[in-house]
Structure 1
């Protein structure tokens, strides 16, 4: 459920990566503050529309044939996490505002301090005071809003004299075009993030779902940890491509793509090798349940392949965001993930009785196909033409 809200709002906010990045390249810094405020309006409205999903998580999951025990716990946790949903809507537009202007280290310092405080509060509230899931949710809420407060104070404190000139009524103008680009960005990213959520839902329909979901969740955690590196390259390359296209430097945009893809792939290769070598030991960091450890270890080879692939695929998506190709990639994602990947996962997992392994294989096939298609699109791109089709 959090993946649903997180993915949708991150996607809506990612429209700023295209618009703000190209505006910076074109030297139009005065538009950034207005763009961010428009994105706040759209993202907050989206968060409000998502509230019923958070409030009625339990019955929704039961309709999706999840076990009553998992559904009940997830339902309570989702209700307590509503403040985080609203925090996403405020955070992501600010995040893109910072990134477009290469103020990444400021965000890094703020996030680093918040992570340290978050870990400490979790230890106190969850471990020492025994507040369980409620405590974890409350700490998460507090951490997200502390990040928002620190980033907002930095924005209004005079550090962006050209980009931020205060709140403006212009934020309510031209919302239609902004909404269209935001929706295209949201669909593109959500189709990727929900793909993995759908895998969890499928696994939850298997026999002994607690063990299967536990094993897949452990693997997904490791996948997400390593994915953070390629997501960093995703943000970097989207900004660089948008900046260079806005400045009408097609060769520099192309070179940025080559550097980002090769560097992220090299880092991903290291993570892949570590996963292969330690596939039987890594699950023990999460659980002592031997059944769950055994099931997670079985998925080790597939996890390694997924990590290697995911060191490249998000970077290609970042290029699409910087160049404004969100609608095109959204269609690619629909075909690869939902018309091929998930149906194959269902066939392998249920019809062929390969369980979680089969479901993961189907997912992986969809990701491989999507990555190949994105490579073909990039190979055929005429960057000189792209500078004449930018959003600015």
Structure 2
């Protein structure tokens, strides 16, 4: 019976993963493209940081309200409408090259992506049988990472100063509609109810986890928004910027599984502290070399270490929080963690972008070092005060883009496997 159900679900799972991969492919290309083109148009790092942070602000806003849209018109129609709207936005960036327009447009993209990810995640979760849910959600996370690498490598396809890359992003996002809308599978029933997220209670249960999630958001949000500016400052051209960004994403994809396996065998907090310590050292090296004319391969090694050490930390922190809260509160805790991470990802590019305007490009790795050191200090403080919680959840890689919605939470709550 379970095998038959999985076999019947495979086509829709493949369609969902294909659509999600195309969304991530287009979005990562668009994020790097906007940073590079913004620099070519004379935008300051402060403005570029605001554009990058606007995506995460829109993502958070959309995660709180798009569930109502999906309940009203259904998952398939919502997915098609939001993907169509998202595919229009790159053209808006091209037609009105203005900082205010770009900030609003990038926020609109984040809003649309929140709903798109809700549909994919909730549908995947409902389609998977209990015995395979963890593996499928892990494949989902890895799909996001691999698509992120491929999206960065598309930057040299055309001149960022022209219109072709914006059209490519629009085409990719439009194509993301096809796998799901052409699928013959019916969407699962829409859940009812709301998710109550209590950040104060979550902080009381897992203070280190909530604080670390915010700092992870600061670090990754600033990197994906502003690293192209850093790459340009050290003399990399468009192809070099693409390889620079892809190297960070490759580091994340390469290290997330080894770190996850380690976290299932030791105190997760200690692993987070050790990882953040090494990340801080690597970023301090990047600060020292920026922009000193060091060999290009040194920067690539450092950004690989950044991606491999900083990006996966959130997944380990989330696993630690899952160990710290009762099973009945796991969904609410996950939603609270995503809000904290999203808030950091929205604020980080703004603050660090302003610092880059004032102090130069090395402010990006320097302030990210500060974020990693804070994670280390908070981790040591927590380890000294409390014993490690018993492990109740195996590690699962998380997509690089934070999404938290009441719809996916309710869907997970209704279909979660017994503990």
Q: If the length of structure 2 is used for normalisation, what is the TM-score?
A: 0.43
Structure with greater helix percent: 1
Structure with larger RCO (C-alpha < 8 A, sep 6+): 2
Q: Please say which structure displays the higher CA radius of gyration.
A: 1
Q: If the length of structure 1 is used for normalisation, what is the TM-score?
A: 0.45
